[in-house]
Amino acid sequence: MNGRPDREGAPDAPGPALSRRTLIGAVGLGAAVLTAAGSGVAGAATSATSAVNSGTGYGTSAQRRARAFLAAAMDAYPDHGDIRLTQSYSDQAGLFSTAFTYDNALAILAHLAARTEPGLRRAVALGDALRYAQTHDPVYDDGRLRQAYNVGPYVFYDGVAQPDGFVRADGTANVGTQFGFTGTAVGDMAWAGIALAALARRTGKRRFLDAAVRIGTWIEVNADTQQPLGGYKFGVDGANAKLPFSSTEHNTDLVALFGQLALLTGDPVWRQRRARARAFVEKMWEPVGTQRAGFFYTGTNDGVTVNKSPIPEDTQTWTHLALNSRRYSGSLDWAATELAVLDRADRTNSTVPAGQSYEGVTFSSASLLAAEDTPIAPFQPRPDRNGVWFEGTAHLALALRDRAGHGDEARAHRLIASIERAQELLGTGQTVGSLALPERAGVVSATSPLDTGFGFGYYPYRHAGATAWYLLAAARANPLRA
C-alpha cells in the first residue's frame, strides 16, 4: 500500500512492528489508514454483469482506462503547481490527497511499461517529483524519501486546514504529517530507486541514476545490520530512530535495486550489497514437504529468530520476480493455492453486488482466519475472509507469466480477467480531488473489506498501486529483474 500499514517484520512478536507500507510516524502508529466508513462499493448494472462474468476480458480498452485513472490521480490538483505526485487512493478512502512513495514508484513503472510518449512524459514528471522530495525535505538533506506526501489541499478530521499542494509555500516537499506518514522505510526507498533506475535506463539522464544511487547509499548507511540473519533492517521512524526488525519483502526489493545499480554504475559494491540482501531472503525459505510447495516467511523482529506467522502473499511473488530461481519458484504455487479466494455477495461481510464474483488471492494466511464479527480497526467494517486483494492478485499474475510453466499463462489470464471485471464494476462513483474519475477506470484495492492480519485492512477504493500492478501484469513488465 501503499502505502499500507503492516507488520511484516514481526508478525508473531508482541507490540507494534512495521514494514514497507507501515505508518512510521514520530509517535508510533498514528492514525489508522483508510479511515472512511463503509466499503465504497456501488451497485453495478446487472445487464453488464453477465457479459463481464463471461471472462472474455477487456484487453487494451481496460488498460487504457487504467492509465486514464493514473493520469486523473496525477492531475487532480492543477492549481497547485506542475511538480506533482499521484494521489494514491480515491477520496472515499479518507486519506485526502495522500501520495505514497511506493504507489508513485509503481506509477512510474506502469507509465514506462506503456512505451508511449505520453507515458514517458508522465514517468519523467513523477521521477522529477521524487527527486524534488529528496532535495527539498523540510528536515533532512541525506537523500531520504518519506512514506507519503500531500499533493493537494484539504481540511483534516480535526478541522485544521492543509492548504498546500506537493510543494509547500516555503518550497519544501509537503510531507504527510497529518497521518504520521513521516518515516522512511527501506522498501519504499527501494521501490523509488527501482523506478528512478528504470528512468535512467529509458532516458539516459544522469539525474535519475544519481538519485537512485543516493537512495541506495542511504539504505546502506541507515539499514545495514550485522545481526545473525543479516540483510538490511526496516529503516527509521519519523523521529529518525532506527527500527530493529527486517523484512523479507524489503530485502527482496533490495536484491532488485542493488542489482540494477550494479548494472548501471559498474561499481562492484552494489553486487556485494545485493548478495547480502539475497542471503537474508534465502534464509526465510521454508521447503515444505509433500503436501504443499515451499514458501518464504515474512522476516524477523530481532535479527535472530524467523517469524513464522502470518505468511504474506507478496513475499512469495516478489521473490520469484527478483530472484529468478527455479529452486524457489514453488512459492508461486503456494500463494496461488494457499491464499486463493473467491468473493461473491453471499460471503460473510462481502460488499460485492449480487450476481458478481471475483477470484484472486488474499493478503496473508491470517486474512483467511480473520474474525468476521470484529471490525478490522476502530470505525472500520468487519472483514470478509474471501475478499480479493487485487494488488497481490496482479503481481501473482505477472509472476506466473514470468515463470511460464505448464498452465501458468492460463492461471494468469484468469486472474487478470478478474481484475478487469473489478475495474469495470467496482468502485463506481468515486472521485479524486473531488473530481469525478473517468468512467470504469482504476482498480480497487480489494473486492470487500479485507483484514491483512497485520493490523490494518484493504477496502474497495480505487488505488494507484493496484492499478499500476495490473498494468505491469498486462504488459508482462517485471520491475524487479536486474
Q: In this predicted structure, what is the pLDDT of residue 7?
A: 35
Q: Please name the helix (run of DSSP H) or strand (run of DSSP E) that holds residue 253, with its range, or none.
A: helix 248-265
Q: Is 417 exposed, middle or buried (0-12, 13-18, 19+ CB in 10 A)?
A: buried
Which grid cell sits at 371?
474474525
pLDDT of residue 290: 45
User: Is 12 within the bounds of a domain?
Assistant: no
Nearest-CA neighbor of 392 among 344, 360, 356? Answer: 360
Give the pLDDT of residue 39: 31
Cβ burial 172-183 (10 Å sphere, 16+ → b, else e): ebbbbbbbbbbb
| Tens-place pLDDT, residues 105-147 | 999 999 999 999 999 999 999 999 999 999 999 999 999 999 9
> Measured between alpha carbons, how far apart are the two ends of the chain, in Å?
23
Percentage of the chain modeled with pLDDT above 90: 85
Angle at 235 (CA atoms; ends 233, 236), nearest 5 degrees = 135
pLDDT over 60 (residue 23): no
Per-residue pLDDT, 320: 98
- Residue 351 in any domain: the answer is yes
CATH of residue 295's domain is: 1.50.10.10
Residue-level pLDDT at 56: 33
Residue 34 in domain: no
The reply to whether 394 falls in a domain is yes
* Predicted confidence (pLDDT) at residue 419 exceeds the cutoff of 90: yes
Q: What is the pLDDT of residue 293?
A: 76
- Whether 57 shows a pLDDT value over 70: the answer reads no
Q: Report whether pLDDT(38) > 80.
A: no
Q: What is the extent of the structural domain holding 315?
A: 46-475
- For residue 403, tell me if it sits in a domain: yes
CA 362/CA 42 separation, integer angstroms: 21
Residue 17 within any structural domain of the chain: no
Q: Is the pLDDT of residue 44 over 80?
A: no
Strands (E) across 238-317 are located at 242-243, 246-247, 285-286, 295-296, 299-300, 306-307
Instruction: Quote the pLDDT of residue 410.
Output: 98
Is residue 41 one of the residues assigned to a domain? no
Distance CA 464, CA 466 (A): 6
Comparison of pLDDT for 27 and 67, the residue scoring more: 67
- C-alpha cell read off for 362: 488474499
- What is the structure's pLDDT at 482? 85
Give me the chain's average pLDDT, please: 90
Residue 345's identity, in one-letter code, is A
The reported pTM is 0.90
Structure confidence at residue 332 (pLDDT):
97
Tell me, rounded to whole angstroms, the distance of Cα 456 from its chain centroid.
Answer: 14
Residue-wise pLDDT for 341-395, tens only, equals 999 999 999 999 999 999 999 999 999 999 999 999 999 999 999 999 999 999 9
Q: Is the pLDDT of residue 47 over 70?
A: no
Q: What is the pLDDT of residue 431?
A: 98
pLDDT band, residue 21 (cuts 50/70/90): very low
pLDDT of residue 355: 97
Q: What is the pLDDT of residue 48?
A: 29
Determine the pLDDT at residue 27. Answer: 32
CA distances in angstroms from 320 to 9, 163, 300, 414, listed in the order given: 20, 43, 20, 20
Q: What is the pLDDT of residue 289?
A: 57
Q: How many domains does the chain have?
A: 1
Rounded Cα–Cα distance for residues 104 and 239 (Å): 24
Q: What is the pLDDT of residue 291?
A: 53
Q: 58 vs 297, which has greater pLDDT? A: 297
In the predicted model, is pLDDT for residue 13 greater than 60?
Answer: no
Evaluate whether residue 16 is within a structural domain. no
Q: Would the pLDDT of 52 be above 90?
A: no
pLDDT at 15 over 80: no
* Burial of residue 186 (number of CB atoms within 10 Å: 0-12, 13-18, 19+): buried
Q: What pLDDT is attached to residue 10?
A: 39
* Residue 146: closest CA among 157, 155, 154, 134: 134
